[in-house]
């Protein structure tokens, strides 16, 4: 059950805690996808999701360090039930033999979704420090979209399953 957030009541500590939780959820989801799909070769969908998990972890760690520097070990008032799939792709996303391009498109949609979350939250934010943080986070999501767009050149432009011809199960005639 997701608890409705009142953005007008967030202070900077709450906003940082929220941002850390969003990154942790995305990291865990991408790691789960990578484990589920496995890695058949460098650069396949499983490898791509593992790379995304590392990126989300790095961003989450940066936000957590900023939170600790400002607020130490003060207990968090924000919990995981206050978010759901803000940046994390949906749990039903991975497919057997997903192409790397398909994995990239999943990540792109997640970055767009996160951008929209921060953008839509801004009108309800009254605290100037929270507003600045959410504007920064929104901009980071836009930058991440640009980085993924550049990555497209590395992957074949196909959403078709990534299956070697010898792995296709063709019934005998």
Question: Residue 142 in contact with residue 24, Cβ under 8 Å?
Answer: no
Query: Comparing C-alpha atoms, which of 59, 57, 67 is closest to residue 17?
Result: 67
**Percent helix, strand and coil across the chain, each to the nearest 5:** 65, 0, 35
pTM of the full structure: 0.88
Q: What pLDDT is stored for residue 166 in this prediction?
A: 54
> Domain residue spans in the chain?
7-73+98-152
Counting every residue written for the chain, the total comes to: 173
pLDDT single digits (tens) 88-131: 999 888 888 889 999 999 999 999 999 999 999 999 999 999 99
For domain 7-73+98-152, give the CATH number.
Answer: 1.20.1260.10
Query: Comparing C-alpha atoms, which of 123, 46, 59 is closest to residue 87?
Result: 59
């Amino acid at each position: 059950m997701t608890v409705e957030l009142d953005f007008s009541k967030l202070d900077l500590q709450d906003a940082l805690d929220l941002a850390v939780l969003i990154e942790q959820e995305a990291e865990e989801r991408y790691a789960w996808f990578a484990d589920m799909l496995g890695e058949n070769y460098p650069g396949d969908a499983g490898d791509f999701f593992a790379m995304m998990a590392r990126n989300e972890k790095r961003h989450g760690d940066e936000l957590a360090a900023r939170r600790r520097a400002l607020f130490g070990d003060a207990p968090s008032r924000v919990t995981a039930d206050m978010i759901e799939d803000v940046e994390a792709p949906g749990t039903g996303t991975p497919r057997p033999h997903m192409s790397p391009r398909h994995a990239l498109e999943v990540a792109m949609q997640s970055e767009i979704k996160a951008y929209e979350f921060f953008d839509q939250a801004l009108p309800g934010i009254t605290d100037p420090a929270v507003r600045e943080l959410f504007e920064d986070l929104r901009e980071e999501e836009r930058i991440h979209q640009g980085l993924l767009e550049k990555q497209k050149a590395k992957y074949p432009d196909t959403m078709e399953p990534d299956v070697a011809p010898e792995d296709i199960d063709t019934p005998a005639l």
